Amino acid sequence: MRLRNSRTPTLVVLALVLWTAGASAQQGHPMEGTWQGLWGRTGVERNFLTLILRWNGSIIVGTVNPGPNEGAIREVELDTSTWTVRIDLDVPDRLSGETVRVRAECRLYDIGSPRRTVRGVLEGDVPDSYFRISRQ
């Protein structure tokens, strides 16, 4: 059998190479990467947040708002049986500059997507609170 278009094998090989490269670019841990989003105690309050998270083999570690307004990660826990995420951070308040503790109970969504999201509410009696970040 003879191929009429000599580019067909080349296109097939190129498609396979691109597909393989995309598959191997997946990160191992679902929470690993750079995340950005907002948190607030009310529906109108907006506090921007950047998290850079890394799995070190036993716990999730990283940085909060890298730079002059850097905060600290107390703990980030992922329960893969329910895809529940508990986040405990110390971040500078954007108005006062004082350190504020932010604790959130969240859920991981779109787990197979590179742009997965974490959404939830702040811990405690904060009725309209929210916490939303997405992986960049």
Q: Is residue 4 part of a domain?
A: no
Q: Is residue 82 part of a domain?
A: yes
**Structural domain tally of the chain?**
1
Tens of pLDDT, residues 59-104? 999 999 999 889 999 999 999 999 999 999 999 887 788 899 999 9
What residue numbers bound the domain in which 80 lies? 33-135
* Residue type at 30 in one-letter notation: P
Q: State how far the alpha carbon of 108 is from the alpha carbons of 4, 51, 70, 102, 129, in Å.
A: 49, 15, 24, 18, 17
Q: Is residue 52 part of a domain?
A: yes
Q: Is residue 59 part of a domain?
A: yes
Q: Is residue 75 part of a domain?
A: yes
Tens of pLDDT, residues 7-57? 656 655 545 544 444 444 455 799 999 999 999 988 788 899 999 999 999
The CATH code of the domain that includes 131 is: 2.40.128
Q: Is residue 109 part of a domain?
A: yes
Q: Is residue 5 part of a domain?
A: no
- Contacts for 97 with CB less than 8 Å, ≥ 6 apart: none
Tell me which residue of 118, 126, 12 sits closest to 60, measured CA to CA.
118
pLDDT-derived band at 117 (thresholds 50, 70, 90) equals very high
Q: Is residue 49 part of a domain?
A: yes
